[in-house]
Structure 1
Amino acid sequence: MTGSQGPAFSRRALIGTGLGAGAAALVAVGSGGAQAVEGPSAGTASAPRRAYAFLAAAMDAYPDHGTIRLAQSYTDQAGLFSTAFTYDNALVILACLASRTEDGRSRGMALGDALLYAQAHDPVYDDGRLRQAYNVGPYTFFDGSPQPYGFVRADGTANIGSQFGFTGTAVGDMAWAGIALSALARRTGERRFLTGAVRIGEWIERVGRTEEPLGGYKFGVNAADEKLPPTSTEHNTDLVCLFGRLARLTGDRVWRERRERAEAFVRNMWEPDGGFFYTGTNDGVTINKSPIPEDTQTWTHLALASPAHSRSLDWAATELAVLDTADRRNSTVPAGQSYEGVTFSSAGLLANEDAPIAEFQPKPDRNGVWFEGTAHLALALRDRHAPGDEARARRLIASIERAQDLLGRGQTLGGGAVAEKSGVVSASSPLDTGFGFGYYPYRHAGATAWYLLAAARANPLRA
Structure 2
Amino acid sequence: MNGSPRRPLSRRTLIATGLGATVLTATGAGPARAAQGGSAASAPRRARTFLAAAMDAYPDHGTIRLAQSYADQAGLFSTAFTYDNALTILALLASPGGESRAVALGDALLYAQAHDPAHDDGRLRQAYNVGPYTFYDGSPQPDGFVRADGTANVGTQFGFTGTAVGDMAWAGIALGALAERTGGRRFLTGAVRIGEWIERVGRTDEPLGGYKFGVNGADERLPFTSTEHNTDLVGLFGRLARLTGDRVWRERRARARAFVGKMWEPSGGFFYTGSNDGVTINKSPVPEDTQTWTHLALDSRTHSRSLDWAATELAVLDTAGRTNSTVPSGQSYEGVTFSSASLLANEAAPIADGQPRPDRNGVWFEGTAHLALALRERGSAGDEKRAHRLLASIERAQDLLGDTQTIGGTPLPVRSGVVSASSPLDTGFGFGYYPYRHAGATAWYLLATARANPLRA
Asked if 1:398 corresponds to 2:399, the answer is no
**Correspondent of 1:389 among 365, 374, 383:** 383
Q: Partner letter of residue 187 of structure 1?
A: R
**Correspondent of 1:280 among 262, 265, 274:** 274
Q: Mark the runs of 5 or more structure 1 residues left unpaired by the alignment.
A: 18-28, 32-41
Distance 1:341 1:10 in 2: 22
Asked if 1:444 corresponds to 2:438, the answer is yes
Cα deviation for residue 423 of structure 1 reads 0.2
The alpha-carbon distance between structure 1 residues 71 and 195, as it changes in their structure 2 partners (threshold 3 A), is: same
Asked if 1:10 corresponds to 2:11, the answer is yes
Q: What does residue 197 of structure 2 align with?
A: 203
The alpha-carbon distance between structure 1 residues 64 and 45, as it changes in their structure 2 partners (threshold 3 A), is: farther
Q: Partner letter of residue 265 of structure 1?
A: F
Asked if 1:92 corresponds to 2:96, the answer is no
Cα deviation for residue 416 of structure 1 reads 0.2
Q: What does residue 139 of structure 1 align with?
A: 133
Q: Deviations over 1:395-433 (max 9, x none)?
A: 000000000000001100000000121000000000111
Q: How does 1:221-232 map to 2 (within 5 A)?
A: 221-232=215-226
**Correspondent of 1:339 among 316, 333, 337:** 333
Q: What does residue 64 of structure 1 align with?
A: 60
Distance 2:432 2:326 in 1: 14
Cα deviation for residue 7 of structure 1 reads 6.4
Distance 1:281 1:16 in 2: 24
Cα deviation for residue 5 of structure 1 reads 3.6
**How many matched pairs?**
439
Q: What does residue 349 of structure 1 align with?
A: 343
Q: Mark the runs of 5 or more structure 2 residues left unpaired by the alignment.
A: 15-21, 29-37
The alpha-carbon distance between structure 1 residues 211 and 30, as it changes in their structure 2 partners (threshold 3 A), is: closer
Q: What does residue 242 of structure 1 align with?
A: 236
Q: What does residue 31 of structure 2 align with?
A: none
Distance 1:381 1:9 in 2: 24
The alpha-carbon distance between structure 1 residues 45 and 256, as it changes in their structure 2 partners (threshold 3 A), is: closer
The alpha-carbon distance between structure 1 residues 43 and 423, as it changes in their structure 2 partners (threshold 3 A), is: farther
Distance 1:345 1:11 in 2: 13
Contact 1:8–1:436 (8 Å) recurs in 2: no
What secondary structure is seen at the aligned counterpart in 1 of 2:225?
strand
Distance 2:62 2:450 in 1: 31
Q: Deviations over 1:1-46 (max 9, x none)?
A: xx984566833456244xxxxxxxxxxx479xxxxxxxxxx99981
Q: How does 1:13-162 map to 2 (within 5 A)?
A: 13=14, 15-17=23-25, 29=26, 46-101=42-97, 104-162=98-156
Distance 2:392 2:8 in 1: 35
Contact 1:231–1:281 (8 Å) recurs in 2: yes
Distance 1:440 1:124 in 2: 33
What secondary structure is seen at the aligned counterpart in 2 of 1:218?
coil
Cα deviation for residue 214 of structure 1 reads 0.2
Asked if 1:182 corresponds to 2:190, the answer is no
| TM-score, normalising length: structure 1 | 0.93
What secondary structure is seen at the aligned counterpart in 1 of 2:318?
strand
Contact 2:276–2:282 (8 Å) recurs in 1: yes
Q: Partner letter of residue 85 of structure 2?
A: N
What secondary structure is seen at the aligned counterpart in 2 of 1:217?
coil
Q: What does residue 33 of structure 2 align with?
A: none
Distance 2:435 2:211 in 1: 33
Distance 2:166 2:216 in 1: 13
Contact 2:8–2:225 (8 Å) recurs in 1: no
What secondary structure is seen at the aligned counterpart in 2 of 1:324?
strand
Distance 1:167 1:296 in 2: 25
Distance 1:178 1:220 in 2: 15
Q: What does residue 425 of structure 1 align with?
A: 419
Contact 1:43–1:421 (8 Å) recurs in 2: no
Q: What does residue 37 of structure 1 align with?
A: none
Asked if 1:457 corresponds to 2:451, the answer is yes
What secondary structure is seen at the aligned counterpart in 2 of 1:322?
strand
What secondary structure is seen at the aligned counterpart in 2 of 1:353?
coil
Q: Partner letter of residue 186 of structure 1?
A: E
RMSD: 1.7
Distance 2:340 2:24 in 1: 23
Q: What does residue 35 of structure 1 align with?
A: none
Q: What does residue 24 of structure 1 align with?
A: none
Q: What does residue 364 of structure 1 align with?
A: 358
**Correspondent of 2:211 among 203, 217, 236:** 217
Contact 2:27–2:451 (8 Å) recurs in 1: no
Contact 1:369–1:427 (8 Å) recurs in 2: yes
Q: Partner letter of residue 347 of structure 1?
A: A
Q: Partner letter of residue 108 of structure 2?
A: A
The alpha-carbon distance between structure 1 residues 9 and 370, as it changes in their structure 2 partners (threshold 3 A), is: closer
Cα deviation for residue 179 of structure 1 reads 0.2
Q: Deviations over 1:247-277 (max 9, x none)?
A: 0100100000000000000000000000000
The alpha-carbon distance between structure 1 residues 183 and 369, as it changes in their structure 2 partners (threshold 3 A), is: same
What secondary structure is seen at the aligned counterpart in 1 of 2:121?
coil
Contact 1:275–1:309 (8 Å) recurs in 2: yes
Distance 1:234 1:446 in 2: 16
Distance 2:246 2:359 in 1: 48
Distance 2:96 2:239 in 1: 20
Q: What does residue 374 of structure 1 align with?
A: 368
Distance 2:327 2:109 in 1: 36
Cα deviation for residue 435 of structure 1 reads 1.8
Contact 1:4–1:434 (8 Å) recurs in 2: no
Q: Deviations over 1:159-206 (max 9, x none)?
A: 000000000000000000000000000000000000000000000000
What secondary structure is seen at the aligned counterpart in 1 of 2:277?
coil
Q: What does residue 39 of structure 1 align with?
A: none
| TM-score, normalising length: structure 2 | 0.94
Cα deviation for residue 434 of structure 1 reads 1.3
Q: Partner letter of residue 69 of structure 2?
A: S
Give the percent of matched residue pairs that are identical in Structure 1 and Structure 2.
82
